[in-house]
Amino acid sequence: MTVCFPTDVQLASHYVKQAIPLMIKHGIAPNPCNFTLWFVYVTNRDQELKKALDQIIQEKKEFSGEDCRNLFKKYVMKEEIDLQAGLQDSLTSVLHELKGSLEKTKIGANNFQHSMEESLECISGNLSSASIQNIIKLLIQTTQSIKSVTNDFQGQLINAENEVTKLRKLLHEEERRTYIDPLTQIGNRRAFDKHLTELFQNKKRNVSLVLIDLDHFKKLNDTYGHLIGDKVLQGIGQILQTTCPDNALVARYGGEEFVMLMEDSQEAACRIAESIRASLHKLTLKKKSTGEIVSNITASFGIAQKVDGEYPDQLIERADNALYTAKTNGRDRICQSACKTYQNSG
């Protein structure tokens, strides 16, 4: 995964104060790799990493140095290492070709200079017509040679430019894959974590979070199949894209849970959530194999607005509690979190 570390001192300190006691509790050596691993764990950025560490904790296994190294490579560094290795190979190839072309151009230029010097020496003496013709022929041949080498070098530059363009496109696509959910084509959990961290680091005041959970999604999957389930997920992804304002981030939080993160008031977030809820009511799908119509799709919403002194995980917790209230009170409804006051300990 791509690690996005908070630069805000209070936010970073909040996570450090969670990570270090856990490392001490489980006897983890305090080296940079282990600290990064547990720092990411307490931020809840990577659910697969959290699941792997939680499993070891629940099984009451001891964490060996090798276990930590393997987890670090698998969940923290693998994608970046693979990408950087591929880019390094490609850039090395481009530079190697350019180096060869430069050497050829240099040799051609030296030969041209040598021919010019010889011709000047000949011209300084008494020349016959035949000698002048020979000098002209030599200059023409040398000029054609340097022109050929220069053309080759120009071709290499064009190829290098094309290769660099491909690499730039590769980087763009890799970044897109990093932050886009492949099924719904909206942001993924990683995109949400990154944007939320940035909003807190920039000390944005009006930040509202909406957690959205599809109601009875497991039953829908069991009844109609996972293909229809995927279509429903894609449908809500499209609704989020068309309903939410341009400055809001929408993402698939995990499974059948989605998020909307916007720089606006809780009241504004509620209005948009109601539009999403109404649009879901209109969503209908048809199962081709049986002709069955799938409708009555609903979702529950939990909304919270950032308050002073609050950390990202506390905002998420309040929105999650509001979502739980919506679920327990009958589903297909929107619940807001009551504002709380936090006092940071530094």
> What tokens were used for 246?
């341009």
Query: What contacts 125, CB < 8 A, 6 or more positions away?
Result: none
Q: 266 with 302: CB under 8 angstroms?
A: no
Mapped onto helix, strand or coil, the DSSP state of residue 41 is: helix
> Cα–Cα distance between 199 and 306 in angstroms, integer?
10
The side-by-side arrangement of strands in the sheet containing 299-305 is 249-254, 257-262, 208-214, 299-305, 334-336
Distance CA 346, CA 164 (A): 46
| 16 vs 38: CA distance, rounded Å | 9
What distance in Å separates the CA atoms of residue 346 and residue 267, rounded to the nearest whole number? 31
For residue 258, list its beta bridge partners.
Answer: 212, 252
Q: Which residues, 6 or more positions from 335, have their beta carbon under 8 angstroms from its beta carbon?
A: 300, 301, 302, 303, 322, 323, 325, 326, 329
Q: What is the DSSP letter of 339?
A: P
Query: What is the torsional sign of CA 56, 62, 63, 65?
Result: negative
- The strand ranges marked E within the chain are 208-214, 249-254, 257-262, 285-286, 293-294, 299-305, 334-336
Q: Which residues are catalytic?
A: 256
Structure tokens at 300: 């529950």
From residue 340, give the alpha-carbon distance in Å to each of 294, 297, 309, 315, 318.
Answer: 40, 33, 10, 10, 9
